[in-house]
Amino acid sequence: MSKLGNLGARLYRGEVGYDFIGKRKIWYGISILITITAIVGLAVRGLNMGIEFSGGAVFSTPETSVSASAAQHQAESASGGHQAVVQKLGSGALRIQISGLDTKQAVPVQEELAKDLNIPVKDVNTQLVGPSWGEEIANKAWLGLGIFMVLVVLYLAIAFEWRMALAALIALIHDLTITVGVYALVGFEVTPGTVIGLLTILGYSLYDTVVVFDSLKEASKDLTKQNRFTYSEIANRSINSTLVRSINTTVVALLPVAGLLFVGGGFLGAGMLNDISLALFVGLAAGAYSSIFIATPLVADLKNREPQIKALAKRVKAKRAAAAAKEASQEDTEDSAPADAEDGAAVVGPRQQPASRNRGRGRPSGKRR
C-alpha cells in the first residue's frame, strides 16, 4: 500500500505518467469493438424481460427436492408450452416465473404444479402481473433516464464547459450500451431492480469523470499565456494525477457489489440479487474505464480544434525546436573545444616571460659606492 501511495504522489506531481491522450486511438478502437459486440448481442439474443414488463405469473413453492431443470420442464408442460424461468433459492424453495399467463390460466397451472412437485396447493403462492403495469414501469424508467441525462448535460455545461458535457454524455451512453449488451449476452432477467442498477451506475460513472474534469479545469487556467505545455499534455497530467484515486474508488465500490453478484446470487442462490448486482458490477467497471480512456481524451480532441489551442501547440512546438537546436549547438561547441586545445599544445616557441620579471634590469641599484 505504501508503494501505491508513493506512486500516487509521483503521478500527482507529474514525476511519472502514462500517455493516455497520445494513445487515445487505441482506447477508441477497444471501446468501439466492445460496443459493437454489445449491440450485436442485443440484436441477436435480445433482453430477457421479466414478467414485470411482459406480464405473467410467479409461483413460489416451499422447500422441495425437485431440481430447477425438472421444475422448468413441469411448469412449461403445465402451462401449455409457455416459457418458464425457474430459480432455486438458497432455502431449497423454487421461484417459477411463467410469462403470458392471465388469471384464468394461472389457477390450473398452480394446481398442476402442486401435483407434479408433490406439495399442497395452498403452499404454492401465486402472484399475477399484468402487461400494462410493466409497460408503465418501462415508460417511467425511460422518462427518468431522459431527465437524468438532460440535467447532467446542463450541470456540466454550466460548471465546466459544453465540450466536457458532451464528452461525459458520450461516456454515459457508452457505459449503458455495454451494460445492456452484457445483459443480453448473459441472459439475466431484466427487472425493475435492473433499471435501478442502471440508474445507479450513471452516478458512479460521472463521479470519476467529474474528478478528472475538475483537475483539468484547474490545471488549464491561463493555459494560452504560457508556452511550456499543450492542452493534451495538461489533460494527460490530470488523468495521471487522479488515476490512483479513481482506481481505489472503483475497487472499493466493486468489492461489495461482487459479493452481491457472486456470493449472494451464486453461492446462496438469491436469484433476485442478480438483476441489480450485474448492472452495478458491469456499470462500475465500464464507468471507471470510460472516465479515464474515453471522456478526457474526447475533451482533448474537441479542445484541440480551437484556434487558440492550435496556436498554443504551434508555439510550444517552436519553442521546443529552438531549445533542441540550441542544445545541439552547445554540444557541438563542447565537442570541438578539446580538439582546439590539443592543436594549440603542439605549437613550440619561445616562452614569453612576465613583464614583472624584467623590471629593474640595467638600472642602478640606488646604493652609493
CATH fold of 56-129: Alpha-Beta Plaits (3.30.70)
In contact, 211 and 245? CB cutoff 8 Å: yes
pLDDT at 362: 47
- Measured CA to CA, the distance from residue 188 to residue 277 in angstroms comes to 11
Question: What would the grid cell of residue 139 be?
Answer: 415508460
pLDDT at 13: 58
Per-position pLDDT tens, the chain of length 369:
555 556 556 665 556 678 899 899 999 999 999 999 999 988 988 887 777 777 788 888 887 777 778 888 888 887 777 778 787 776 678 888 887 777 777 888 888 888 877 888 888 888 777 767 767 777 887 888 888 888 888 988 998 889 999 999 999 999 989 988 988 888 877 877 788 888 888 777 788 888 889 888 888 888 888 888 899 999 998 888 888 888 888 888 888 888 777 776 555 555 556 778 888 888 888 888 998 899 999 999 999 999 999 999 899 899 888 888 888 888 777 666 555 544 544 444 444 455 544 444 444 444 443
Q: Looking at residue 14, what is its pLDDT?
A: 55
**Domain 2-49+133-304 of CATH type 1.10.760.10:** no
Q: What's the order of all strands across the beta sheet hosting 84-88?
A: 84-88, 94-99, 56-61, 125-129
pTM: 0.73
DSSP-based three-state secondary structure for 49: strand
Contacts 24+ apart (CB under 8 A), 229-235: 229/316, 230/309, 230/312, 230/313, 230/316, 231/300, 231/303, 231/304, 231/309, 231/312, 231/313, 232/21, 232/22, 232/300, 232/304, 232/313, 233/21, 235/21, 235/296, 235/297, 235/299, 235/300, 235/303
C-alpha span between 98 and 95 (Å, rounded): 10
Domain extents in the chain: 2-49+133-304, 56-129
Domains 2-49+133-304 and 56-129 share a fold: no
CB atoms within 10 A of CB 193: 19
Q: Indicate the residue type of 264.
A: G
